[in-house]
Chain A
């Protein structure tokens, strides 16, 4: 916490020279100079200059855990909306069930939500997802809320500190998808508190010491209840 404020940069803003820094995420190089390409928060503490986006849609990356909504059941696969620019393909070989040809609708149908993992992203940005990993299944019950995908790392916190905090104080089951969808299950008060807290994290994602602030708040609320 050496810096008091985080610096917000806009596209085309000059950030540095390739002689002393390397161009990282969210930047591009032209004539030996590094420029920002998106609206975001500047981070130039390491040898790379990175710009963390403030807004924008989810950019799928391999091995991300996400929450998807089935759009369509095809003969041997499903089309799943994962909040990215393109729908993802879920093939019958990538689900834990034994599905006969043409019987995909028996297992997943339009509107069903699933927790999934991104299997591959090719150069044409064709996406494949899989259900064959730990704790991946079709979602039954609970509630899904949408947040800005760029805020997901803040909601999870450093090594999951923020999310485990929320879980501890609200006694809810939470699954945060990297694509900005969050699944919550628990009693009504708990779910309400989780949604409130996540809304607060989203609003104040640029401030420092947020985890401590949220912990204090949750503690105070917990005392009121008992």
Chain B
């Protein structure tokens, strides 16, 4: 897509960030009362809320697996989350994102502990500004821990991309719309395994390697914020006496 906007000028991006700088992130765990676990996350102008229900018996029955639990993530964008009203309900895009997030989470949750059960993760995007699947997955991970579900690792997601022939971390709204590539990934920070990798646009092999490298670095930074958010919630509770 051609545009008159200069996305990168003198090494600074539209919002004044450096190429390898993240948008500000704020995470809060345990915000909903009726859910087993929940999380509210703000990532730049993205506002996402995640809620975890279960493990509970999976319905309908034919979806049950006698050996392990199934993970049902449901990604949904609120009608008011984008500039033009989004038609509510699941569409091709949100079903795809739900599927890839479910599969990413399945790899870190100890699903063998809960045969025949389902773990339901609802991700609601309240305000969108590029990178909502990464924000959603990051929030879902915190909500799962808040729900006390046994996990091998805390998954974390982040995107990298290309604007004006430069590889940058964490695309903003204009960068996503007018840039030339977007590469969202999710990793398991302890082992470095990749849980999700999608790519939109074109990257040379060299650029891809660089983008993957900085995205992983970004993930590790966000991972620290996640851990801090969880500890903050539960350590404070202890000191409130």
Contact = CB atoms under 8 A, between A and B. Distances in A.
Interface string A186-226: 00000000000000000110110000000000000000000
Given A11-B154, A53-B148, A57-B148, A37 B110 contact: yes
A124 interface: yes
Contact of A204 (B36, B148, B149, B241): B241
Interface in B175-233: 189-190, 227, 230-231
Contacts of B241: 203-204, 207
A28 B37 CA distance: 22
A217 to B, nearest CB: 13
A55 B230 CA distance: 12
B231 A57 contact: no
A38 B150 contact: yes
A10 B145 contact: yes
Given A55-B147, A56-B147, A11 B57 contact: no
A125 B64 CA distance: 13
A12 interface: yes
B110 A150 contact: no
A86 interface: yes
A8 B117 contact: no
A57 B152 CA distance: 18
A179 to B, nearest CB: 14
A85 B146 contact: no
B114 A39 contact: no
B44 interface: no
A78 interface: no
Interface in A17-76: 26, 28, 30, 35, 37-40, 53-57
A5 interface: yes
B110 A28 contact: yes
A87 interface: yes
A74 B39 CA distance: 40
Contacts of B227: 10
Given A11-B151, A39-B234, A57 B36 contact: yes
B115 A124 contact: yes
A39 B56 contact: no
Nearest to B56: A85
B190 A35 contact: yes
Interface residues of A, number: 30
A92 B237 CA distance: 45
Nearest to A37: B150
Contacts of A206: 237-238
A54 B148 contact: yes
Interface string B138-172: 00000001111111111000000000000000000
A18 B110 CA distance: 20
Interface in B124-140: none
A125 B150 contact: no
B240 interface: yes
A8 B231 contact: yes
A85 B146 CA distance: 17
A28 B147 contact: no
Contact of B146 (A37, A39, A123, A150): A39
Contacts of A123: 115
A139 B152 CA distance: 41
Interface in A113-136: 123-125
Contacts of A28: 110, 152
B116 interface: yes
B59 to A, nearest CB: 12
**6 nearest CB pairs, A to B:** A56-B148, A55-B148, A37-B150, A11-B151, A85-B55, A12-B153
5 contacts: A37-B150, A37-B152, A39-B146, A54-B234, A203-B240
